[in-house]
Structure 1
Amino acid sequence: MSEFLYLFSGEEWAGSPAEMQQHMQRWAVWAKELTEKGHVKAPGRPLERTGKLVQGRQKVVVDGPFAEAKDVIGGYLLIEAEDLAHAVELAKGCPALERGGTVEVRPVMKMSR
């Protein structure tokens, strides 16, 4: 098994409170299924939309992130899967996709200790 990071972005949050509640329930069901099948290595959490960027050799600190709204990372999840193809297949169940979102699937580099 290998580790993969899911980065969630671009999800549209329009809808009534009841619709939002139903959508969040779908997120909970999806996460529970991944957990029960042994894929969740570390539960992620939603991220705030604000932060700071530390840049370059001068370590300049600026407000950020400065990305298109659709590209702002809204949350993450660390999972285990057989390989990249398996991780991608698991990501296809993500409720963010129902609302125009994306799931970036990134392999976590194996490092010797």
Structure 2
Amino acid sequence: MPTFIMMLHEDPATFAAMSPDEMQATIGQYMAWGQKMEASGRLRGGQKLKDEGGRRLTARDGKLLVTDGPFAEAKDVIGGFFMIEAASYEEAEALIADCPHLRYGEIELRETDDCGA
């Protein structure tokens, strides 16, 4: 069955404005959704990404260039991801229609390619 990655786009200010109690309730919603997907046999993985922004790597003239980013003032970052199995985009869309992230941002859905493996 095909695997899809759900990249969770968000505005960092959305979660920064939450009280500790609101944040705990939100985390609980994500955990419950992940557990439901796992129980259905569809979840293949997922993680929240650290807020520190990571690194961007490029190569120019054979040299590796590393910069910090994205920055906290960015309006759109990927805050985490899930990987799920579904027969098609349509089935994947139906499976994630109740994902709590849709209340806080948008989800970019992409099918993975096994590259002939």
Aligned ranges for residues 23-62 of structure 1 at < 5 Å? 23-42=26-45, 44-49=46-51, 50-57=53-60, 58-62=63-67
Cα RMSD, aligned residues only: 1.9
1:80 aligns with 2:82: no
DSSP 3-state at the match of 2:3: strand
Task: Give the drift of 1:67.
Answer: 8.7
Of 69, 82, 100 in structure 2, the residue corresponding to residue 95 of structure 1 is 100
Task: Give the drift of 1:56.
Answer: 2.4
Which sections of structure 1, spanning at least 5 residues, go unmatched? none
Q: What is the TM-score of this pair, normalised by structure 1? A: 0.85
Which sections of structure 2, spanning at least 5 residues, go unmatched? none
Whose strand fraction is larger, Structure 1's or Structure 2's? 2
**Number of matched pairs:** 111
Q: What is the TM-score of this pair, normalised by structure 2? A: 0.83
**CA offsets 1:41-92 (integer angstroms, 9 cap, x no match):** 12x1111232111112432111112597342110011110111111122222
| Change in CA separation of 1:67 and 1:109 when aligned onto 2, cut-off 3 Å | farther
Q: Detail structure 1 runs of 4+ shifted over 4 Å in the superposition.
A: none
The residue number in structure 1 matching 2:110 is 106
